[in-house]
Amino acid sequence: MSVLLSIDPKTKLLSAKDLSVPLISVITKELRIPELKYETSNTGETEETINSVCDFLQEHAAANLGASLIKTFEPYSDAYNLSPRIYNALFVCDRLADVFYRKANIDDCLKTQLSSWRFGLARILIKFPALLETEENPIFSLVDEICAGQIGWTPEPKRVSQLVVERLIEINHVINSLDSGSYEPFIELKEKWISEQEKQTTRLSSSFERLIKTEQGAASSRYASQFSQFTLHSLTQNKSLPEPICQFLSTSWLNILRCTLLRNEKNQWDKAEELTRRFVLIFSAKSTQNRDSLFGMAEGLVDEMAEITSGVGIETANEDWESIQKQLIMMLQGSPVNSISLNVEDSYINFSNEITFSSEELEKLLNQWFFIKPLDQSSGEVNRLKFSQYFSDSREILWMNHAGMKSMIMSCESFKQHTLAGEIRPIPPCYLLSQVFSETLKGLSKVAKAQNDARERAKVKAQAEVEQLKAAKAQALEEVRLKKLEADKRLNEQRLQVAEKNRLIREQAALKIASELTLGAWVSIVSDKGVENEKFKLVVKINATDKFIFVDKIGLKKIEIKTPELIKRMVKGEIKVLNDGVVFDDTLTRVIGAIRVGR
């Protein structure tokens, strides 16, 4: 099972410090894609809205195979008024499916089927987001299992291929109709898929074993024929031999060499090869060569060749051996012989030591899948074939398709040539949906982090601006208050100065009036409420002691007061001087005016 993400269960909010493993539900809430037209006023979701969106996805899944979720919803956007979270969920599933289609190295037909599951995944992300937020996710694990097992799948042969498509459609139906937040349906689907795959593997293994027995026999037969031909071609190249000997080598002896190889007895083959070399050397010898040496090589040669022939179960008539013996004697005696060139066709298998696989190379290649362009260039389609078996004797590769059927036999030399030309290349390990999901999530988390950081910066900036405005406003208010205080202070000082000035003038006026009071002058005592009460008459004025004595109408003494106290009470208005019926205020006003003019 593939591990998608290592997610801290305590992670609930996007953080500017760590967005390496965010929850997908957090991303769908926080992400803002510039291309999407969000309904900014619609941030709330009701259960009714969620259900209606999920019903829409379920209804349109079959008719919009591989279509974009965003584009499918576009004509109905006014009716559904999608919230940012739901909008982002559609975007994430679209991106997940599109990237998977682009990167997954399975057949396009299967990619189309699997990418159409975006409708079901969108339903899950919108209705049951928690199902996509666990470390080991059975949903993606199911798709990963499918992809890993179908890397060699192709639409042909149709009968076998269609079974896989039908199983995918069945799984898609279950995903689209999911009505609970449980993993059980996906676990059951995966177990069922694995069970079916194991049955298929068992069937393919049995047929593969039978096929290998047949193909190994055919490969060994081709090897025996071609290596015998290769050996005889190498030994007779540019040699002229008697015509009967050429006939014998190209027919009977070539078959004897082939049968010797098929017996797979190295000693016998080495002996047969050595006899062939001696045989060709003798019959291609020039007349000037050392006859003694040729006699030594020819001794017992025909008998040994007859023994090899008998050992592989081939019957050769004595007349044939006698004819060869006769030709041999003629060559040794130097008799004139009509020689011709022996043209043995070279093997189509390259038996050079460089044209094979080392054990390390073979270990990497065996059971691997490859993209193979049609070698005859008759079609532009690229095949997906498995390097199923290597026949080391014939240096041939058995290629099989996903249905376990033989596709072709290719020589090692051809494989290396086409690999260098780029016409054969290995299919990389399957690019899994869990990988796409993890990478997509990381990519979107970076976007979300950048947006979150930008929002934080904007928030801090806005707060700073608010604080700055508040500080400026407070400073302005403080300046106004200080100015007002200063103005009030100046006004109070001015008022105090005026009051003090008026007080001094009133005191001077009162002093002047008091000094001019004569006996018989009347004064009035004013109460706290400003009402004049009794009137008193000045009867005594003692300059030496600065004292004034006032009596009432019947002559009783009522007030005895000194000048400072009299002036003080006159200024306060507690005592008013009555002079011929004119009140003190009028008198005081006239005196004050006179004083000011005098100044």
The reported pLDDT for the residue numbered 368 is: 96
Convert the pLDDT of each residue in 532-586 to its tens digit: 678 888 888 888 888 999 998 888 888 898 888 888 888 888 888 886 444 555 6
If you write DSSP's letter for every residue of 436-464 in order, what string do you get? HHHHHHHHHHHHHHHHHHHHHHHHHHHHH
Question: Given a cut of 90, is residue 73 above it in pLDDT?
Answer: no
Q: Could you give the percent of the chain with pLDDT greater than 70? A: 88
Question: Domain boundary residue among 181, 203, 233?
Answer: 181
Question: Given a cut of 60, is residue 183 above it in pLDDT?
Answer: yes
pLDDT band per the 50, 70, 90 thresholds, residue 503: confident
Convert the pLDDT of each residue in 389-403 to its tens digit: 999 999 999 999 999
Alpha helices in 106-181 (DSSP H): 108-115, 118-127, 138-149, 158-176
**Whether residues 33 and 167 fall in one domain:** yes
The reported pLDDT for the residue numbered 12 is: 33
Query: Is residue 487 one of the residues assigned to a domain?
Result: no
**Whether residues 154 and 262 fall in one domain:** no
Question: Given a cut of 50, is residue 54 above it in pLDDT?
Answer: yes
Q: Which of 336, 334, 339 is nearest to 291 (CA)?
A: 334
**Whether residues 273 and 385 fall in one domain:** no
In contact, 174 and 188? CB cutoff 8 Å = no
Query: Is residue 106 one of the residues assigned to a domain?
Result: yes
Query: Is residue 370 one of the residues assigned to a domain?
Result: yes
**Whether residues 359 and 327 fall in one domain:** no
In contact, 272 and 256? CB cutoff 8 Å = yes
The HSE-up count of residue 5 (CA atoms within 13 Å, CB side) is: 23
**Whether residues 304 and 385 fall in one domain:** no
The reported pLDDT for the residue numbered 287 is: 54
Query: Is residue 346 one of the residues assigned to a domain?
Result: no
Convert the pLDDT of each residue in 134-150 to its tens digit: 656 888 888 899 988 89
**Whether residues 290 and 363 fall in one domain:** no
The reported pLDDT for the residue numbered 260 is: 93
Q: What is the CATH number of the domain that holds 358?
A: 2.30.30
* Average pLDDT rounded to a whole number, residues 308-312: 90
Q: Could you give the percent of the chain with pLDDT greater than 90? A: 28
The reported pLDDT for the residue numbered 344 is: 83
The reported pLDDT for the residue numbered 194 is: 92
**Whether residues 57 and 146 fall in one domain:** yes
**Whether residues 60 and 164 fall in one domain:** yes
* Average pLDDT rounded to a whole number, residues 293-297: 80
If you write DSSP's letter for every residue of 289-333 in order, what string do you get? S-HHHHHHHHTTHHHHHHHHHHHTT----HHHHHHHHHHHHHHHH
- Share the mean pLDDT of the chain: 84
- Domain that includes residue 567, residue range: 517-598
Query: Is residue 569 one of the residues assigned to a domain?
Result: yes
Q: Which residues contact 226 (CB under 8 A, 6 or more apart)?
A: 347, 348, 349, 394
**Whether residues 326 and 376 fall in one domain:** no
Question: Given a cut of 80, is residue 37 above it in pLDDT?
Answer: no
* Average pLDDT rounded to a whole number, residues 409-420: 94
The reported pLDDT for the residue numbered 339 is: 85
The reported pLDDT for the residue numbered 227 is: 94
> Measured between alpha carbons, how far is 114 from 108 in angstroms, rounded to an integer?
10
Q: For residue 503, how far is the Cα from the chain centroid?
A: 91
**Whether residues 221 and 328 fall in one domain:** yes
Helix (H, G, I), strand (E, B) or coil at 340: strand
Query: Is residue 202 one of the residues assigned to a domain?
Result: no
The HSE-up count of residue 32 (CA atoms within 13 Å, CB side) is: 13
- Mean pLDDT is lowest, of 233-242, 470-479, 495-504, for 495-504
Convert the pLDDT of each residue in 357-388 to its tens digit: 999 999 999 999 999 988 665 556 789 999 99
Residue 541 has φ and ψ, to the nearest 5°, of -135, 110
Question: Domain boundary residue among 426, 444, 467?
Answer: 426
**Whether residues 396 and 543 fall in one domain:** no
Residue 349 has φ and ψ, to the nearest 5°, of -90, 130
Number of domains in the chain: 4
Convert the pLDDT of each residue in 1-25 to its tens digit: 333 333 333 333 333 333 344 578 7
Convert the pLDDT of each residue in 114-170 to its tens digit: 888 999 999 999 998 888 876 568 888 888 999 888 999 999 899 889 999 999 988
Q: For residue 550, how far is the Cα from the chain centroid?
A: 112
Convert the pLDDT of each residue in 322-365 to its tens digit: 888 888 888 888 787 788 888 888 888 988 888 899 999 999 99
Query: Is residue 494 one of the residues assigned to a domain?
Result: no
**Whether residues 250 and 112 fall in one domain:** no
Question: Given a cut of 80, is residue 476 above it in pLDDT?
Answer: yes
> Measured between alpha carbons, how far is 439 from 96 in angstroms, rounded to an integer?
9
Question: Given a cut of 90, is residue 405 above it in pLDDT?
Answer: yes
Question: Given a cut of 80, is residue 257 above it in pLDDT?
Answer: yes
Query: Is residue 161 one of the residues assigned to a domain?
Result: yes
Residue 319 has φ and ψ, to the nearest 5°, of -60, -35
